[in-house]
Structure 1
Amino acid sequence: MTDRRPAEVFPPGEFLADELEARGWTQTEFAEIIGRPQKLVNDVILAKRAVTPETAADFAAALGTSAQFWMNLETAWQLSKVPPRDDSIARAAKLRERFPVREMCKRGWIKLGDSATELERNVLSFFNLSSLEDPIEFQHAARRNYKREVTAHQWAWIFRVSQLATALKTPPYSEASLRKRSSDLERLMTEPEAIRDVPRILFECGVRLVVVEPIPGSEIQGVCFWINENKSPVIGLTLKGDQIDKFWFDLWHELEHVLNGDGKGGLIIEDFDESKAGDDEAEIRANRAAANHCVPLGAMNDFFLRHNPMFSEKSFLGFARIMKRHPGVVAGQLQKRTGRWDLFKKHQAKIRHIITETALTDGYGVNS
């Protein structure tokens, strides 16, 4: 006998009864052949007992089939008794497959709701979507740097930045004011505690600064876009890498985009891996401007050439003092020049706990 697949679903017992009849065997005789109680054979035939792997192996040995054949019959029969499901389970799975639902609920960005339908509605509302099949279209997104695909984790973070930034009321943006206040920002680069004044200065210039803790695995450092018909710039930072030099480089990088009007009608997403900038002029310009604000490039080049490769603590601290920069800021730029990421690392002070006290923040223990 060969394995066969029934066109209709019947209990395995019906097939067993047909096989016994074809061979002229009684249930008692078959039970004796496989060494099992006659009641077991009868119960299987009457669909009162399921075929187990052990039973399937015995049937296969006696009837010249495979054990898998009998297990397939049993599985098909059991499944035929299960009521059909609606698409709610599939939709719930698709929702969580596409979006970081658990993290969004955990952070209070959306409500879990009392049902899968309500949860789906909340997620779609967060992303301004009509259905699960719709592509995400950020209202300001026309371009992004490096031509990378934006992941769902990144989109969730960006939409949260947008929500908070939109709710923040600021004076009208003034490019002239921002350029004038750049010197005030530079004077804050001597001490970590001075960073708490950054949000106020940017606010007075009409720049919305928002800090949102990133979702794990999102691989995003910041974002720059414009709202209110491209009249109001938004800077979003994750503060990944809690170091004074990273904060200032990231901030100046984004401010350069703002001053140049980059991202109007578009979206610039950053991870600040300078090697990925390629030939993107806006990114090259922003990286160079950020480095120059951190430590003036001419002075940095001169110090590097005079002291490389032996950088003493004394000369390093003296240079930072002359530049009126915190040593940690100088250390960050020196590390980039040398590729020695442990160089003066002890001076790279942590600042996240400082900036989150004054900036509009979501995460890091702060609920917006």
Structure 2
Amino acid sequence: MPSAETIAPWAPDWATHPGEHLAEFIEARGMSQAEFARLAGMTSKHISTIISGENPVTAESALRLERVTGMKDYIWTRLQAAWDLHQARQKERAKAEEWANWCREFPIKELVARGAIPDARRDMGRQIESLLAFLGIGSPAAFQSLVRGLAVQHRQSRAYTTSDAHVVAWLLLGERKARAMDIAPFSKEVFLEAVREIRSLTVKSPSEFEPRMRRLCRDAGVALIFEKPVPKTCLFGSARWLDDGRAVIQMSLRMKSNDHFWWTFFHEAAHILLHHGRTFVDDKGGEGDGVEEEADAWAEETLVGRRLFEAFKATRPCSAAEVTRFAADVGIHSGIVVGMLQHAGIVPHTHLNGLKARFAWADEVG
């Protein structure tokens, strides 16, 4: 994804029709338009309409103008192209009022703060142009085509609602980072091995596991992106594929405890390994469907082993010692086990939280 500078490079907000330059040349030479037309082998009417801006300078006209004026043909055609673009841009900006409400559906302030678009909030026309460029669409009417093209399967919370505009903005913020990364071609086998090693990192601190995690994923062809959520969403994570066949796991760092963080990672890793080519976005407390249940089952099996966990749940564990012992036996952090027991309804959400590790990165952008 291009940077804000390449999205909206500086360009003057004006242009002159090549006819103005032609009129200046004729006047400077003391000619009449008819005299110039005869020298150029063109009709007086044609010269008159170029000067008035009614007719464009075509490639053929540019060749003739060069021969008489000495100004290169490509300069004439560039002047015409600049004029045409300026006129088209002015027409688009005239739609700014019509498109303003659509633009306001997006987290503009956040996109500016993260360098995705330039700060043009005082100029609605420029703001819309920069947003369209960030989204990679030609007009607001194309936004739903973008949404359909992403084919997002949204595991959405029952308690919260999110808009397509915010979800897509968050995904594209992550995609911008992913495309800038140098990662290997995707390998399912290598990624599966990477996930197994990452499981052993759950007992480490973020300063230890985070760089190793990123590297293992990168070497397997998966871009691991930490991108804080945008306002008015409860996004935890997503799994998707870029058009070059590489995968992206994007995590919002909304998770303030390690059980949520690690469950989200392994859930999204499951989507990458089990559901190739699809896009998944998960909200806080989202309800699962068949595919989501598959990802949950895979995450549980990978983290603790489903049979082992079922047997452990059957003992109705309620003490820190029991949980700590089981976590040590399976080789993961005890906080993850607490979170799984709470989710299963074995332990109240108010109990054993002291076993969880707390992360202070919820407001950071990775």
Question: Does the alignment reach a TM-score above 0.5?
Answer: yes
Identity %: 21
SS in 2 for 1:239: coil
Matched, 1:318 2:325: yes
CA offsets 1:308-333 (integer angstroms, 9 cap, x no match): 4xx12222222222121111111111
Matched, 1:232 2:246: yes
Matched, 1:291 2:291: no
Q: Partners of 2:262 and 2:242 in 1: how far apart?
A: 24
SS in 2 for 1:144: strand
Q: Determine which structure has more spread, i.e. the larger CA radius of gyration.
A: 1
Contact conserved, 2:234 with 2:284, CA < 8 A, in 1? no
**1:258: Cα distance to partner?**
0.8
Q: Partners of 1:186 and 1:365 in 2: how far apart?
A: 23
CA offsets 1:202-231 (integer angstroms, 9 cap, x no match): 1111111111111121222222111134x2
Larger displacement relative to structure 2 (193-202 or 86-95): 86-95
**From 131, 136, 140, the counterpart of 1:132:** 140
Distance 1:328 1:146, change over 3 A: closer
Distance 1:107 1:92, change over 3 A: farther
Q: Partners of 1:313 and 1:115 in 2: how far apart?
A: 58
2:348 maps to: 340
**Counterpart amino acid of residue 301 in structure 1:** E
Q: Partners of 1:223 and 1:307 in 2: how far apart?
A: 33
SS in 2 for 1:217: coil
SS in 1 for 2:321: helix
Distance 1:89 1:207, change over 3 A: closer
**1:88: Cα distance to partner?**
6.5
Larger displacement relative to structure 2 (105-114 or 321-330): 105-114
SS in 1 for 2:247: strand
Aligned residues: 265
**Counterpart amino acid of residue 187 in structure 2:** S
**From 294, 297, 300, the counterpart of 2:309:** 300
- Structure 2 gaps of 5+ residues are 1-92
CA offsets 1:234-270 (integer angstroms, 9 cap, x no match): 11110212211111111111111111243x1x42111
**Counterpart amino acid of residue 133 in structure 2:** S
**Counterpart amino acid of residue 329 in structure 1:** I
Q: Partners of 1:119 and 1:216 in 2: how far apart?
A: 19
**1:301: Cα distance to partner?**
1.7
1:349 maps to: 357
**From 192, 195, 212, the counterpart of 1:179:** 192
Distance 1:223 1:150, change over 3 A: farther
Q: Partners of 1:88 and 1:139 in 2: how far apart?
A: 25
2:177 maps to: 164
**From 104, 108, 118, the counterpart of 1:111:** 118
Larger displacement relative to structure 2 (92-101 or 218-227): 92-101
**From 212, 237, 252, the counterpart of 1:222:** 237
**1:286: Cα distance to partner?**
0.2
Q: Partners of 1:312 and 1:98 in 2: how far apart?
A: 48
2:46 maps to: none
Contact conserved, 1:207 with 1:235, CA < 8 A, in 2? yes
RMSD of the alignment, in Å? 2.6
CA offsets 1:8-52 (integer angstroms, 9 cap, x no match): xxxxxxxxxxxxxxxxxxxxxxxxxxxxxxxxxxxxxxxxxxxxx
Matched, 1:207 2:214: no
Instruction: Compute the TM-score of the two structures, normalised by the length of structure 2.
Output: 0.66
Q: Partners of 1:232 and 1:145 in 2: how far apart?
A: 20
